[in-house]
Amino acid sequence: MAQTKKKEIRQAILDAAYEMFAKRGYSDTNIADIARLAKVAPANLYVYFRSKLEVLFSIYEPWLTKQFDDLEASLRRIKEPRQRLRKILATVWRDIPSVDNGFANNLMQAIATTTVREGYSPSLRLVIEERLAKLIDDSLPNLGRPSSRELANVVLMAFDGYALNFHLDGETTCSIKRLTLFADILLSYAQTNEGRARAIAVTDGKVESRIGTRPSRRAAG
């Protein structure tokens, strides 16, 4: 007979896991530690979660989603592209890697020690990448959505590095100078891209105009 799951026990497990992950990290926390703090038997913990990885994702997904919810809310008050880019980069490269004692690094540790066979799925990463791409696209509409998606991928790869550095290198985060420089580079590139698009449009317009007004040989004769 299947055991009845209770919401309060599940939440106790998640609360205990969050405390352990935040204090000791994913690699140095085991199921027994979590169960002990949650005051449940290790075997009972597996009634609610299949693995330590599933426990982490049950915490990390709403945690990371909230970070991006807050970022989107703050961007609604910012209209200027340069300031929007700086806010995006500051959040992804400075704030999220450092919040809650560098909690983001737990996912780096988990990914480094697991496989798809053990239950890892990139679905959360893809959702966050799509959200980030939209924020970039809204800030630099002339960049183009495909380029925004590629850029979002690069920004998230750098995020992984900063999450790791915060853990390993004395809580180091991305400098304001560095993220400002990167924002300026993106803005400059987007403006150049817009200029090229306008030049092509003007050139195409002239070509169409010439074709439309070119006399036929019969009329010329």
* CA–CA distance, 216 with 204 (Å, rounded to integer): 21
* Same domain for 169 and 73: yes
* CB atoms near residue 100 (< 10 Å): 13
* pLDDT value at residue 120: 77
Task: Report if residue 17 sits inside a domain.
Answer: yes
pLDDT band for position 118 (cuts 50, 70, 90): low
Q: What is the domain extent for residue 206?
A: 60-213
- What is the average pLDDT across 34-55? 95
Q: Is residue 55 part of a domain?
A: no
pTM of the model: 0.81
CA-based max dimension of the chain = 98
Query: Is residue 125 located within the same domain as residue 179?
Result: yes
pLDDT of residue 93: 96
Same domain, 40 and 145: no
Asked whether residue 45 falls in the same domain as residue 70, the answer is: no
| Domain membership flag for residue 221 | no
Number of domains in the chain: 2
Q: Which region among 64-73, 112-121, 133-142, 171-180 has the lowest average model confidence (pLDDT)? A: 112-121
Please return the burial class of 179, using the count of CB atoms within 10 Å of its CB with bins 0-12, 13-18 and 19+: buried
Cβ 190 vs Cβ 143: under 8 Å: yes
**For 72-101, what is each residue's pLDDT tens digit?**
999 999 999 999 999 999 999 999 999 998
pLDDT band at 213 (very low <50, low <70, confident <90, very high): low
> Is 220 within the bounds of a domain?
no
**Average pLDDT in the chain:** 86
CATH of the domain at 40: 1.10.10.60
Identify whether the C-beta of residue 122 lies closer than 8 Å to the C-beta of residue 177.
no
